[in-house]
Each structure stands twice: as structure tokens, then as C-alpha cells.
Amino acid sequence: MIVLVDEGIGTAEGTINLSFNLCEGSNTEVVMDTQENGVHTAFKDNNNILVRTFANKEITCSPFTGRISYEVKGEYKERQSYTIDMTKAADETARYITVIYPNNDVNSLSAQFTDNGYSENGAAIKVVINGIEYSLSYTL
């Protein structure tokens, strides 16, 4: 399991976008789960992942067409991408938790912040996968 914590601090307000570009593959191999704020892969070799994002307030998930280039010449290919959006007020910090789990056979997955709000010194979260709880934290 890989867990990412993203925090958008400052006085800016408006829509905050957390964007993800996906691996190449068809829509049947890389599947958007917009209602669950993430994606999963469905490769035939069962080498799959599940990605879910959680936040400190309401978020939405929207697909878009991303680009990737393997050459310096500026030529690119299109690929699936998605963004997790949140409306941020000037006095708030946008806080996201993204869980990347190396298996898409998951019955339940959730994550939440367990600290008292943003701190420049660290964060604490709880991730629950199939009923198993992981308490994670970091200190800077």
C-alpha cells in the first residue's frame, strides 16, 4: 500500500484540482470509478491496482484527456486522466489522502485524517482496508 497526503495551504480560494495521469491502456483495462473518487486496473495478468482519494471535505472526480510525450520533439499521445476537485475557502486548507493499493480485490477501503487539522509539523491519518485498520502519521 502507498499512501499520499497532499495539503493545499494559503489564502487562495476557489476550486483546487488534484490531477492524476494514468498508464496507457484501454477503457476496459484502466477503469474510472468517479463515484468512488479513483480508478482501478483490470489487466488480464491480475497485476492490478486500486486508487482512491479521500479528503477533509466534499470532493468530486472528473475524467479528462491527458497527454504524454516520449520524445523531445513535442509529439504526444493522449491518455486517460482524472482530477479530484474541492472548493476551498480563503481560510481553509485543502487536505487529501490518496491510497494506492496493489490489488483490486478490495471489499472496503476508507481513509480519514485523525489529527486536529493542518499542521506544518506533520499529519495523522487512519486507513481501513477490508476491516484492517492502519494508523499512520509523520512528523517533520
* Residue 22 confidence (pLDDT): 82
Sheet holding 50-55, edge to edge: 2-8, 94-101, 50-55, 38-41, 30-33
pLDDT tens for 37-69 read: 999 888 888 888 999 999 999 999 999 988 888
- Mean of the per-residue pLDDT values of the chain: 90
7 within 8 A of 93, measured Cβ to Cβ? yes
CA distance 97 to 127: 9
CA distance 14 to 118: 18
pLDDT tens for 70-95 read: 888 778 888 889 999 999 999 999 99
* Residue 115 confidence (pLDDT): 95
- At 26, the pLDDT band (50, 70, 90 cuts) reads low
* Residue 45 confidence (pLDDT): 83
Decide: pTM greater than 0.85.
yes
